[in-house]
């Protein structure tokens, strides 16, 4: 399984061989195939902040913000393409999507999860939890039914057995109840919010920052400065930020604590910081495909004058005895700890924050870079029989 070790680096060159400067100041070259992922080192200023110049590399053992007037098209394959719709003149189950990166693409309704655009009066539609498609209009109206056809003069949706034709200019977002397909291959995350499935990255002509990528037989020219993140295999890496919280409760004799915060829901691969805003205990049931988990727990820099707490990380198998992975006091002089452990699907991760010597004052803990390795069905990756803890070095390593 991927060992989930990480390094903070400055990437100086992307391509089939990645060059980066590590903490020691030495330039290192490593084949792209040996990296599980490249993620932004910091995303505190929002989903589009940073690129792979300052990155966190996850080594293998062997959705972004909107800008401008364009929309985001979400495909069932997991791809996201920034562009603008080109509606057909007559009613159709397909339409065009014009992208600066891909050019004009033809897409069908049964191959997309939906699309959304910026609007001062509305929000993106959520993926339907049951049958039916969901459309949100600029005035905030929400319609649920069956989206039949699209064209320049109207988007037709059947609601309660009645057909309605909507002005495309008034549709803020639409989410279609299309089954999600298992994506295969590398994924590249671009600063404009696009997420593309590619065959790999290669050096382009001219500038050192010029790269080429192949997508479905199409050769793309991409600037390395536009790449926010890279995943070597779609679906092989997840984050605790994308796992539903099972329970949360206050500790240290407190009756209440603020809810847990996911800092950046639009982070590449969902790898967002998570904030535990005070003494508390939180539990997550790990995904069925999980084989390992790693994270860094840090006392919030703004809390280090008075913050002083004890953090305990425990893995609870579906059967058997729970195993304590980490127990550490976090305070001004020792503000972080990290862990990496093997897991199995259905196990529970429990993180507990107890007040330290100074009481429950500013005991605000940030879970950084929570990575979950995922084995795809039929991959042949076996699940461990019991948890195996390990402490990750601050600079990671392969």
Quick: pLDDT tens for 124-138: 556 666 668 999 998
pLDDT digits (tens, 9 = 90+) for 342-383: 999 899 999 999 998 777 788 999 999 899 999 864 443 333
DSSP-based three-state secondary structure for 169: helix
- The reported pLDDT for the residue numbered 52 is 63
Domains of the chain, earliest start first: 6-64+195-231 (no CATH), 80-175 (2.30.30), 237-390 (2.60.120.1060)
Tokens of 38: 């490249």
The least confident of 1-10, 65-74, 93-102, 293-302 is: 65-74
pLDDT digits (tens, 9 = 90+) for 139-178: 889 999 999 999 999 999 999 999 999 999 999 999 999 8
- Long-range Cβ pairs for the range 106-113 (8 Å, 24+): 107/73, 107/75, 109/147, 109/150, 109/176, 109/178, 110/178, 111/75, 111/76, 111/77, 111/178, 112/73, 112/74, 112/75, 112/76, 112/176, 112/178, 113/74, 113/75, 113/76, 113/175, 113/176, 113/178, 113/180
Residue 314 predicted with pLDDT over 90 = yes
pLDDT digits (tens, 9 = 90+) for 47-63: 334 456 667 666 543 33
- The reported pLDDT for the residue numbered 203 is 74
- The reported pLDDT for the residue numbered 128 is 62
């Amino acid at each position: 399984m991927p060992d989930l070790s990480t390094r903070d680096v400055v990437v100086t060159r992307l391509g089939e061989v990645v060059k980066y400067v590590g903490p020691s100041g030495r330039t290192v070259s490593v084949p792209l195939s040996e990296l599980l992922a490249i993620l932004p080192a910091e995303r505190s200023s929002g989903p589009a902040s940073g690129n792979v110049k300052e990155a966190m590399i996850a080594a293998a053992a062997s959705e972004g913000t909107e800008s401008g007037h364009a929309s985001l098209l979400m495909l069932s394959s997991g791809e996201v393409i920034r562009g603008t719709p080109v509606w057909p003149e007559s009613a159709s189950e397909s339409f065009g999507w014009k992208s600066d990166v891909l050019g004009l693409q033809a897409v069908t309704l049964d191959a997309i999860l939906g699309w959304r655009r910026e609007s001062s009066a509305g929000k993106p539609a959520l993926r339907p939890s049951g049958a039916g498609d969901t459309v949100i209009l600029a005035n905030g109206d929400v319609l649920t039914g069956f989206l039949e056809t699209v064209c320049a003069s109207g988007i037709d949706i059947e609601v309660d057995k009645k057909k309605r034709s909507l002005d495309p200019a008034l549709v803020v977002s639409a989410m279609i109840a299309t089954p999600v397909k298992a994506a295969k291959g590398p994924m590249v995350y671009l600063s404009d919010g696009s997420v593309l499935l590619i065959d790999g990255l290669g050096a382009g002509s001219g500038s050192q920052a010029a790269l080429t990528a192949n997508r479905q037989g199409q050769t793309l020219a991409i600037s390395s400065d536009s790449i926010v993140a890279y995943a070597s295999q779609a679906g092989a890496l997840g984050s605790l930020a994308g796992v539903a919280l099972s329970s949360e409760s206050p500790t240290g004799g407190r009756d209440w604590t603020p809810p847990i915060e996911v800092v950046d829901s639009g982070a590449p691969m969902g790898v967002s910081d998570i904030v535990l805003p005070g003494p508390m205990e939180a539990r997550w049931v790990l995904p069925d495909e999980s084989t390992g988990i790693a994270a860094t727990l840090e006392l919030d820099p703004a809390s280090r004058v008075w913050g002083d707490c004890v953090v305990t990380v425990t893995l609870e198998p579906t059967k058997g005895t729970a195993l304590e992975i980490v127990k550490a006091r976090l305070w001004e002089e020792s503000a972080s700890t990290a862990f990496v452990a093997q897991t199995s699907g259905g196990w529970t991760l429990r993180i507990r924050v107890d007040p330290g010597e100074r009481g429950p004052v500013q005991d605000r803990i940030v879970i950084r870079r929570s990575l979950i390795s995922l084995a795809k069905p039929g991959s042949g990756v076996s699940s461990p029989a019991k948890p195996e803890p390990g402490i990750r070095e601050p600079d990671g390593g392969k």
